């Protein structure tokens, strides 16, 4: 794996195992997702894209710029992983979107769906706010167990490795990498 000086500097001496999806592959897939989402809604649906922070911030920023419809953006802050690599199953909601969801087409944007615990906890809370529709768009999907809340849009099937970059972190490191790598 050869990294440019800029990429070396971003890593600051920390090791990644391999690049799993390059910046070019991610960009191409995000464009497709933007097109697919555009085809599913009309302007009168008042599309609201809700990003789950912090992991989705890069993906969401790129995705909304590929949606050819009027869109509003809000965020949700939940916390489940702490500093580890394994989900604790305890999903705390630290910030709820202030936007009214009622009667609107809502798309929840996730960086990665692993066990599905986060979605299982959050979707009912959003559903309770009476959106006209509620769908999930995730950049990555590990598909580890039953997908009772399977996302409508998936960027990539993820290998069962711990991934970082393009918003995904390990203990807050690596979010700014323009590609997706495994540790
Ligand atoms: P779930 O609740 O098990 O589906 O896990 C979802 C959340 O765990 C995501 O929003 C991520 O923040 C985090 N997560 C799961 N797998 C990874 C990974 O490989 N890298 C970084 N974060 C991950
Ligand atoms: Mg995270």
Give residue-wise pLDDT tens across range 11-53: 988 888 999 999 999 999 999 999 999 999 999 999 999 999 9
Phi, psi dihedral angles at 7 (to 5 degrees): -70, -40
More confident: 96 or 121: 121
Structure tokens at 165: 């970059």
User: Which pLDDT score, from 0 to 100, does residue 2 have?
Assistant: 80
Spacing, Cα 126 to ligand 1 middle (Å): 19
Is 114 considered catalytic here? yes
Does the pLDDT value for residue 66 go beyond 90?
yes
Ligand 1, pocket residues at CB < 6 Å: 55, 80-81, 87, 110-118, 162-164, 168
More confident: 136 or 14: 136
Closest CA to 53 of 97, 100, 9: 97
> DSSP state, 35?
H
> Given ligand 1 and candidates 92, 114, 140, which is best to mutate, with the most ligand atoms within 8 Å of its CB?
114
Task: Specify the 3-state DSSP secondary structure of 45.
Answer: helix
**Considering every ligand atom, which ligand is closest to the CA of 166?**
1
Average pLDDT of the chain to the nearest whole number = 90
User: Which pLDDT score, from 0 to 100, does residue 84 have?
Assistant: 59
Q: Which of 3-12, 69-78, 87-96 has the lowest mean pLDDT?
A: 87-96
Closest CA to 109 of 143, 163, 72, 162: 72
Residue nearest to atom 16 of ligand 1 (CA): 114
Sorted by sequence, the CB contacts under 8 Å of residue 18 that are 6+ apart come out as: 1, 181, 182
**Res. 1 pLDDT band, cuts 50 70 90:** confident
Closest CA to 93 of 132, 62, 52, 133: 52
Spacing, Cα 84 to ligand 2 middle (Å): 10
> Given ligand 1 and candidates 80, 156, 164, which is best to mutate, with the most ligand atoms within 8 Å of its CB?
80
Does the pLDDT value for residue 163 go beyond 70?
yes
Give the ligand 1 atom nearest the CA of 56.
10
User: Which pLDDT score, from 0 to 100, does residue 175 have?
Assistant: 97
């Amino acid at each position: 794996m050869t990294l440019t000086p800029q990429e070396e500097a971003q890593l600051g001496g920390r090791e990644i195992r391999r690049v799993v999806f390059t910046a070019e592959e991610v960009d191409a897939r995000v464009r497709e997702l933007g097109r697919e989402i555009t085809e599913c809604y009309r302007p009168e649906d008042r599309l609201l894209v809700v990003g789950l922070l912090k992991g989705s911030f890069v993906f969401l920023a790129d995705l909304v710029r590929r949606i050819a419809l009027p869109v509003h953006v809000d965020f949700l802050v939940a916390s489940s992983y702490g500093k580890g690599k394994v989900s604790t199953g305890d999903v705390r909601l630290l910030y709820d979107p202030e936007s009214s969801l009622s009667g609107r087409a809502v798309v929840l944007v996730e960086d990665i769906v692993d066990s599905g615990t986060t979605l299982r906890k959050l979707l009912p809370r959003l559903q309770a706010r009476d959106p006209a529709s509620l769908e999930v768009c995730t950049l990555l999907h590990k598909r580890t167990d039953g997908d009772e809340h399977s996302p409508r849009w998936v960027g990539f099937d993820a290998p069962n490795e711990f991934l970082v970059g393009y918003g995904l972190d390990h203990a807050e490191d690596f979010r700014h990498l323009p590609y997706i790598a495994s540790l």
